Structure 1
Amino acid sequence: MDERIQTGVNDERGGGIQVIARAAKILNLLGRSAGGMSLGEIAQAVDLPRSTVQRIVGALEEQGMIRSEGAGGISLGAGLLRLVANAHVDRMTVVRPWLHKLSEAVQETVVFSRPTGIQLIVEDRIVADRELQVTPRLGQLDTPLYGTSAGRALLALDKDEDVKALFATESATKQKTSVSQRLLNQLVDIRKTGISSDHGELIEGITTTAVALDTVLGRFAISMPIPTFRFERARDTYIEELLRCKAGVFKEIGIVG
């Protein structure tokens, strides 16, 4: 192929990829915006010329991906929502391969759970084939969220005032619970490290380490209940693999802050 033609093809491909990346960046930005944004606000946020943003926004609007209602009313459109609705993707379809990958990497049981009110529901588990197995039961746990490492990881996704409000609301309608200063201190540490752990609190002799994710498919936690003697031997490896799993899932469906 003529070198000039090859260069032109490469430029076209590179330009196409660049446009797609910029369009995705704009869509992600609008997805995080509670209300509409103006062209100028978008251009400043994505660090692109206003004219470039205007062309991309115009193309996306033609396809129904976004809608424009006046100077400051650019927001996600119904076309994008229809694509999401037709995708037929549930969170387990996305997450289960990562659970298997994590379990295989550490040869330990991996648990998937989600919050419901102030309780935790274990929805899935990958049980490792070990001489000493940990097999958590499926379904709703009796222990409040703050009594489990996965639950505390989920609570740490919220601000302290929101955690207090959650338990205050639930206490008024169901059971008497309160938020202690000890819990709030634990949540501060979890927010710093991204890791929540308990050492035999839920099951004697078992250390459970968990991470939580806020995603477009809901909030959930991934945890590993490990016999404490095994956990202490390879603590850094377990945590490293758990964080690697979290990063992989987040890249696919995570909500950027």
Structure 2
Amino acid sequence: MAEKTEHRPTARVLNILELLASSPEGLTLTEIAEAIDAPKSTISPFIHTMTQRKFIFQNKNTNKYNIGIASFCVGAAYTNNMSALEFIKSEMKYIVKETNEICQMGILDKGQVLYIAKVDSESPIRIISSVGKRLPAYCTALGKAMLSNIKIEDIKKLYPNGLIPFTSKTITDFNELEKQLKEIQNTNIAYEFGEINEPSYCLSTPLMKNNDILAAISVSVPSFRMTKEKNDLIKKLLLESKIKIETYFREHDIDKNNLTIS
């Protein structure tokens, strides 16, 4: 049976919501149209209705649109039904307490990491990622953790334009990426050193049920605070939380439908 194609008007509404969710500074109508490759005249009625229904709102001073209260309510209702996320966040809070560094959680959305939870430390650093944002998986620790059980041939299909560099340290060679992913399979720890944001280090571990990676959690550390002792502590805490979270997954029959938004 052939796969059904997307309903274009519905897809455009969802594209607008996803775009604004990952653009906290807001976007003008022109910027939205360009980003989703649609004429302004076509999406203008969508924008008007979404604004009227409070799924988005327009800042009258800048003419930029942002996510509205109705979208927040829908998202909050989703999260409130996700006890698995609350359990994971409790582990994340413990990791932050022990390391005083930021802890994040993400899921894999095609070739991107979608950040769905974050716990700040008392000494937060400025990082590129944020809840609701998407970043390429190949140059983030979270992403590498979740790509680690995918064959390199299938990974190449996710990035038909190759591995585009974000910094001078970004991996751009599929062979090197494959080498790192094989190492993650052995250690359950993924690393990213300045590939997406040069002044920071990040360690991550995949969260699995059976052989299926459902999500990953990570700890981000500014380079000036990273020491061997902190590196070892973070690895230990991540692996301990991995065991507890994966036990929760098994005991409560958690699968990707409980953690993904697709």
* Normalised TM-score (structure 1): 0.55
Greater share of helix: 1
Partner of 1:22: none
Partner of 1:252: 248
Partner of 1:219: 214
| Residue 108 of structure 1, CA deviation | 1.2
1:239 aligns with 2:235: yes
Q: Tell me if the contact between 1:157 and 1:212 (Cα under 8 Å) persists in the aligned partners.
A: no
1:163 aligns with 2:159: no
1:154-189 superposed Cα distances (whole Å, 9 cap, x missing partner): 00032334434x52xx64xxxx33671111111111
Moved more, 93-102 or 177-186: 177-186
| Residue 134 of structure 1, CA deviation | 4.3
1:181 aligns with 2:166: no
Tell me the secondary structure at the aligned position of residue 139 of structure 1: coil
* 1:223 alignment partner AA: S
Task: Supply the distance in 2 between the matched residues of 1:163 and 1:90 (Cα, whole angstroms).
Answer: 31
Pick aligned residue for 1:118 from 111, 115, 121: 111
Tell me the secondary structure at the aligned position of residue 114 of structure 2: strand
Task: Supply the distance in 1 between the matched residues of 2:125 and 2:99 (Cα, whole angstroms).
Answer: 13
Partner of 1:208: 202
Pick aligned residue for 2:145 from 142, 149, 153: 153
Task: Supply the distance in 2 between the matched residues of 1:195 and 1:218 (Cα, whole angstroms).
Answer: 13
* 2:244 alignment partner AA: G
* 2:89 alignment partner AA: R
* 1:96 alignment partner AA: K
Unaligned runs of 5+ residues in structure 1 are 1-87
* 1:206 alignment partner AA: S
1:11-69 superposed Cα distances (whole Å, 9 cap, x missing partner): xxxxxxxxxxxxxxxxxxxxxxxxxxxxxxxxxxxxxxxxxxxxxxxxxxxxxxxxxxx
Q: Tell me if the contact between 1:127 and 1:134 (Cα under 8 Å) persists in the aligned partners.
A: no
Partner of 1:61: none
Partner of 1:95: 88
Partner of 2:97: 104
| Residue 90 of structure 1, CA deviation | 4.4
| Residue 93 of structure 1, CA deviation | 2.5
Task: Supply the distance in 2 between the matched residues of 1:157 and 1:134 (Cα, whole angstroms).
Answer: 30
**Identity of counterpart residues, as a percentage?**
21
Task: Supply the distance in 2 between the matched residues of 1:183 and 1:104 (Cα, whole angstroms).
Answer: 32
Task: Supply the distance in 1 between the matched residues of 2:125 and 2:136 (Cα, whole angstroms).
Answer: 25
Q: 1:124 to 1:89 in 2, by over 3 A?
A: closer
Q: 1:244 to 1:147 in 2, by over 3 A?
A: same
1:228 aligns with 2:223: yes
* 2:107 alignment partner AA: R
Task: Supply the distance in 2 between the matched residues of 1:180 and 1:223 (Cα, whole angstroms).
Answer: 23
| Residue 89 of structure 1, CA deviation | 4.6
Moved over 6 A (4+): none
Q: 1:187 to 1:218 in 2, by over 3 A?
A: closer
Q: Which has the larger radius of gyration?
A: 1
* Normalised TM-score (structure 2): 0.54
Task: Supply the distance in 2 between the matched residues of 1:218 and 1:184 (Cα, whole angstroms).
Answer: 17
Q: Tell me if the contact between 1:231 and 1:238 (Cα under 8 Å) persists in the aligned partners.
A: no
Tell me the secondary structure at the aligned position of residue 248 of structure 1: helix
Q: 1:93 to 1:215 in 2, by over 3 A?
A: farther
Q: Tell me if the contact between 1:213 and 1:221 (Cα under 8 Å) persists in the aligned partners.
A: yes
Across the aligned residues of Structure 1 and Structure 2, the Cα RMSD in angstroms comes to 2.5
Q: How many aligned positions are there?
A: 159
